[in-house]
Structure 1
């Protein structure tokens, strides 16, 4: 995942000093590694919750991404809302200054999350003077203050003037922020190149996004045996069925933080290709494509379909709105799977930002694909499912059988997943 740092900032030259931020040129941007650290391991996976784990576990499971990001010259690190063993990360001097800055020798700047220092106290903002002191002395260099900036400036100024926060801490923060600005060349070229806007959404960009979709798809099941694979699907068939709430919904493909904070449903938010449209674009012109979002079993049985593609998953979400204690496929997804896959050869494509409960439906499913959030380029899904390209993706996380198994990590004593970390079946493209 840390390859994205080089993509945003450029490849750091060999021999560069470890921990020093690097941005190659004015067409690149400063990357941010977040959320430091352990926010992916909170109790019950709840946003802004407490991560209960030993120091060894924290460093071995949750820290490696930061090691690699720093080696690649990442410019900034954002602190997590979460806590580690009861200590708010925004107030954790041991991990922010002691480990990140001193041990890992990170020389970029550390930034808070949105109103992050407010949430050091419970309820948030209950003692703002304390929050300012705790956050700054923990080692946060830039504070994200969306509203009460006058209160923050006055409070920080008072504490510095009265030696509550040492000037040396302010000097360190200023030095780090200026270092990133110098590395980015902001003093020589303070303004963005407006002409680059014309490249946004270009065909070249969309082709690159489409390639990313093809390479990130993970094939989890492909027939009952290797001798009789279900994928790739044939382009030429008399009639095929496409079903599911996520088959023709660009907003669902894009997920949260798209246009709006929680994302949107529908096809009018941005340009792009839904999975349904992509399938229609890819199959032979003689193949009849029937779309019904949630067909009943009788419709499927009487349809004489050669095969079906069922696209289900979860609706868009961001942050706390994504908290879930059951991680189930959104309704009517389960009934769609049962109605379709119980009557015809079917491929199920799961559109989600994380593993979901799928084990109960496995006996019905002929082929299973984790598509994650393919964004605007549903064509990348059809490219692989219908065989112009092969499956190559591997799981970047463990796929559980039941939520009762969570949390579950490689190396756990009772590690018994549905699909292990790194799993992924492969196929070869069909030659024209």
Structure 2
């Protein structure tokens, strides 16, 4: 009996050993091994994926419709926050991290455990997030002419975005705005493609520097302190007729290549991870359906190896009205070469529609595999498989003092001095810090929301001072002048008040109210009421410097004579102290116009190099002042 009993035990031992080795063999998955070459990992994972899992990877949904369960059930590849879409008002970095990790855990609980990638519009700093540093909008950065500064801003933005657990940003916008009537003109660095090209230096700031000898066109993200970037909106978004948003860019191939394409060549050479397609059309063909440009040129000719993403409901807008024929939209968009679709809400309709078309051979599996291969390439490259979950190690980076100092420096460098006294008159700037009494006026002097512009906390921006942390221009002035100088602030004083006030000088801060995208399209480009009457009342009675807060040149020709000094401050963001730094001469004016300043809107479009170029202030103009040496 004893001998008999040994055999089964021995057999059980062998069985157990077999089971264990089976388990260990099943546990080794090539795609999960970071030592394997990138393409080996991609091919291994792709070979294991069902159609359902592949289409899930191609789907990006809004956080408001995402959950652990949705991520798990539909194998969703990506989630985004739209403008102003937050887990809670004034949410902390930790609250953001908890939300992102909850979605990620849903993805990791699937059969293959493919991590999702969370994306957000961080277009001038981490602008949806309470207490983040808000940098000047791109038009102001274009005035600095300083790619190295913009690279530092990219690196700081990446840290703040990672502080909230997010690894992907829909930035930079490399539009070349050719008409300031366009509501997105402030998102463009310049009307000059060479400046836009130079400012793609933000990409290595966001993603990290490409290692020497990297293959051109292959996406790159250095690590957990960097984020995947997205050059947008491909292509010609800034060239639409009359600057109408999402409209038609009419130009020949030479014009498209010479003006709107250069930023993309440079982005791809710098390893940009993703490219977002434009709502606009080129010569009547919607970019979201333009296979020649998306697949033929971007992917095949320029050899871009990252993934192509649609804009928000971008494929819906292939038809007019939008969503009129969604199955056609799916077919046209995916066939054109879009890899990931920002659905963002009705994701089951997209998934079902695309599944039907693949199963019925309307869209070939090779197109699906190309899309998924590209998405996986970015996810593997950035280390998402090794480090899918965010931690709190970077939370102190959000709105850090170091980043605020950088933003303040950017504000100083972005200011363009358009006028400083008349001819023989003594220049008004820099202003003296010591004066008995000075007047600060204007709707934009004490309004942080106006100062930041659109894409700040909310999609369309906000008014007032309680939206986030920052310094208004009024506060900055009070911080800067001599303690004995009396600062009187009146938003819109009448002439008598100004005349009887015995002011040494006045600072008037006026401009545009915040806007984003189509809401910013404007045919008249005026300073918001009562700005021009404030200029008239104040500047008619006392020496005045007018600071213009706007996303683009606005109509000022009728008032130039009455203003003693004029400063274009663009949309400076939260660090208003940078404006006072230069007004009072702690630093000099160095900024140069990134755009032509027109005389009247009838001249538009008006760009440097045009045959009848007759601007109020030409492209590249900017007076300089020396910093004041004070004891």
TM-score range, shorter chain: over 0.9
Q: Distance in 2 between matches of 1:268 and 1:114?
A: 29
Over 4 Å off, 4+ runs: none
**Which residue among 409, 412, 429 is the counterpart of 1:231?**
429
**Which residue among 330, 339, 359 is the counterpart of 2:557?**
359
Q: Distance in 2 between matches of 1:318 and 1:226?
A: 42
Tell me the residue number matched to 1:302: 500
**Which residue among 271, 284, 293 is the counterpart of 2:491?**
293
Tell me the residue number matched to 2:406: 208
Tell me the residue number matched to 2:615: 417
Q: Distance in 1 between matches of 2:376 and 2:424?
A: 57
5+ residue gaps in structure 1? none
Tell me the residue number matched to 2:386: 188
Tell me the residue number matched to 2:230: 32
Q: Distance in 2 between matches of 1:315 and 1:240?
A: 25
Tell me the residue number matched to 1:407: 605
1:225 is displaced (CA, Å) by 3.1
- Tell me the secondary structure at the aligned position of residue 194 of structure 1: coil
Count of matched residue positions in the alignment of Structure 1 and Structure 2 = 432
Pair 71,308 (structure 1): closer, same or farther in 2 beyond 3 Å: same
Q: Which has the larger radius of gyration?
A: 2
Alignment of 1:40-79 (within 5 A): 40-79=238-277
1:133 is displaced (CA, Å) by 0.7
**Which residue among 221, 224, 242 is the counterpart of 1:23?**
221
- Tell me the secondary structure at the aligned position of residue 312 of structure 1: strand
1:240-263 Cα shifts (integer Å, max 9, x gaps): 111000000001011112121211
Tell me the residue number matched to 1:346: 544
1:22 is displaced (CA, Å) by 1.5
For the pair 1:145 / 2:350, whether they are aligned, the reply is no
Alignment of 1:364-379 (within 5 A): 364-379=562-577
Q: Distance in 2 between matches of 1:358 and 1:337?
A: 10
Tell me the residue number matched to 1:392: 590
- Tell me the secondary structure at the aligned position of residue 2 of structure 1: helix
Tell me the residue number matched to 1:311: 509
Q: Distance in 1 between matches of 2:318 and 2:541?
A: 54
1:61 is displaced (CA, Å) by 1.5
Q: Which has the higher helix share?
A: 2
- Tell me the secondary structure at the aligned position of residue 347 of structure 1: strand
Tell me the residue number matched to 2:301: 103
Q: Distance in 1 between matches of 2:381 and 2:570?
A: 35
More relative contact order, 1 or 2 (CA 8 Å, 6+ apart): 2
For the pair 1:155 / 2:360, whether they are aligned, the reply is no
Tell me the residue number matched to 1:265: 463
For the pair 1:335 / 2:533, whether they are aligned, the reply is yes
- Tell me the secondary structure at the aligned position of residue 426 of structure 1: coil
Deviates more, 1:2-11 or 1:285-294: 2-11
1:16 is displaced (CA, Å) by 2.2
Tell me the residue number matched to 1:429: 627
For the pair 1:132 / 2:330, whether they are aligned, the reply is yes
Q: Distance in 2 between matches of 1:290 and 1:247?
A: 12
1:410 is displaced (CA, Å) by 2.1
Tell me the residue number matched to 2:289: 91
1:77 is displaced (CA, Å) by 0.9
Deviates more, 1:55-64 or 1:129-138: 55-64
Tell me the residue number matched to 1:321: 519
1:294-353 Cα shifts (integer Å, max 9, x gaps): 111121111111111110011111111111110100000011111111111111111111
5+ residue gaps in structure 2? 1-198
Alignment of 1:232-247 (within 5 A): 232-247=430-445
1:226 is displaced (CA, Å) by 7.7
The two structures have a TM-score, normalised by structure 1, of 0.97
1:45 is displaced (CA, Å) by 1.2
1:194-224 Cα shifts (integer Å, max 9, x gaps): 2212220121121111111111111111222
Q: Distance in 1 between matches of 2:612 and 2:511?
A: 28
**RMSD over equivalenced CA pairs, Å:** 1.3
1:346-399 Cα shifts (integer Å, max 9, x gaps): 111111111111111111111111111111100011011111111111222222
Q: Distance in 1 between matches of 2:207 and 2:587?
A: 30
Deviates more, 1:255-264 or 1:125-134: 255-264
Tell me the residue number matched to 1:252: 450
Pair 62,248 (structure 1): closer, same or farther in 2 beyond 3 Å: same
Deviates more, 1:276-285 or 1:187-196: 187-196
Q: Distance in 1 between matches of 2:412 and 2:212?
A: 31
Question: Contact 1:41–1:407 at 8 Å: present in 2 too?
Answer: no
Pair 239,205 (structure 1): closer, same or farther in 2 beyond 3 Å: same
Q: Distance in 1 between matches of 2:599 and 2:446?
A: 28
1:192 is displaced (CA, Å) by 2.3
**Which residue among 360, 365, 373 is the counterpart of 1:167?**
365
Deviates more, 1:59-68 or 1:169-178: 59-68
Q: Distance in 2 between matches of 1:386 and 1:213?
A: 14
